[in-house]
Structure 1
Amino acid sequence: MSKFKKKKDGGLPPISTASLPDIVFMLLFFFMVATVIKEDNLKIQNNLPQANQIEKLDKRKPISYIYIGKPSRNYVDTYGTEDRIQLNDALKSPDAVQAFIASERAALPEELVPLLIVSLKVDRDAKMGALTDVKQELRKTNALKINYTTKKGESISSSRN
């Protein structure tokens, strides 16, 4: 009897998976950096007014956007040419602002609800009536932290001339 047995030909060695976690994390990191967060699809014209004294909002605070302006060319046949209010991806009436703010607050953790800022992106040619209606509805829901979004530039008097 022999002490040593002859090995049988084992064929191909198994594939090493030692570097697999490195590859997975590298792909994960790439997609996290390369992915763009989807913003709302605008159904209205939104040419923001210009201002020369602006401040950036703190990104850590929750922000909800309300857009006001005339429907864009693709939606004129459906919605007409009067100023409209866009909440998320849908054109709504001013009455829907209260439900919109309630749903935005419900989606937030309880400690962030008082920090919610409503940012109004109003077209520079929009009528004041739609904006006033939205502000009245915001008052009814006690959403009093309002921000007006503008583009950086010169003041209105010098940009129109």
Structure 2
Amino acid sequence: MSKFKKKKDGGLPAISTASLPDIVFMLLFFFMVATVLRDTSLLVENQLPPADQVEKLKKDRTMFIYAGAPSEQYKGKFGEEGRIQINDAYVNLDAVQPAVKEYINNLPEELQPRVVIGLKVDTNTKAGITFDIKEELRKANALKIMYVANAKNEDL
């Protein structure tokens, strides 16, 4: 009969951390690529109307103006009436023209004549606000205007 010796338990082996920096950098790179940064925080309700023919434009020469009732968190402070938002702030009607001119002047010279103003107007907003914005855009000589809408789903 042979005798077998039992090995003494030496504990757990040490965990190799040699590949840890590779994993960390791979995760960092993934989140840098996959993260989308938001341009503007919406301060107004913005349920866009449906449209039959929708065309996508490049954002390099497009300025967006939002119009609608203040969102739920701002209704107590600004009321229920429709408001105009440019960038991340509410603006009065008389501030539309200077904001558009400033945007156009900050663009490269070759894009300045091709600027398009995108109006993102909530479906429940009164037409008077849209008309007033268009008048201010005419004064600023920003005559290329597009109305932003959602593509209509035929499945519904």
TM range (shorter): 0.7 to 0.9
Give, in whole Å, the separation in 1 of the partners of 2:47 and 2:31: 32
Please give the secondary structure, in 2, of the residue aligned with 1:110.
coil
TM-score (norm 2): 0.77
Q: CA deviation at 1:67?
A: 0.3
The corresponding residue for 1:137 is 136
Q: How many residues end up aligned between the 2 structures?
A: 135
The corresponding residue for 1:10 is none
The corresponding residue for 2:110 is 111
Show the 5 A alignment for 1:26-65: 30=30, 32-59=32-59, 61-65=60-64
Question: CA RMSD of the aligned region, Å?
Answer: 2.5
Q: Deviations over 1:121-158 (max 9, x none)?
A: 00001001110110000000000110100001159xxx
Q: 1:112 to 1:29 in 2, by over 3 A?
A: farther
- Say if 1:117 and 1:145, in contact at 8 Å, map to a contact too: yes
Please give the secondary structure, in 2, of the residue aligned with 1:111.
coil
Show the 5 A alignment for 1:83-102: 83-102=82-101
Q: Which deviates more from structure 2 when the two are superposed, residues 118-127 or residues 97-106? A: 97-106
Post-superposition, which runs of at least 4 consecutive aligned residues in structure 1 deviate over 3 A?
A: 25-32
Please give the secondary structure, in 2, of the residue aligned with 1:137.
helix
Letter aligned with residue 93 of structure 1? N
Letter aligned with residue 119 of structure 2? L
Where in structure 1 are there 5+ consecutive unaligned residues?
Answer: 1-21
Give, in whole Å, the separation in 2 of the partners of 1:102 and 1:31: 36
- Identity rate, percent: 50
Q: Which deviates more from structure 2 when the two are superposed, residues 34-43 or residues 76-85? A: 34-43
- Say if 1:51 and 1:154, in contact at 8 Å, map to a contact too: no
The corresponding residue for 1:78 is 77
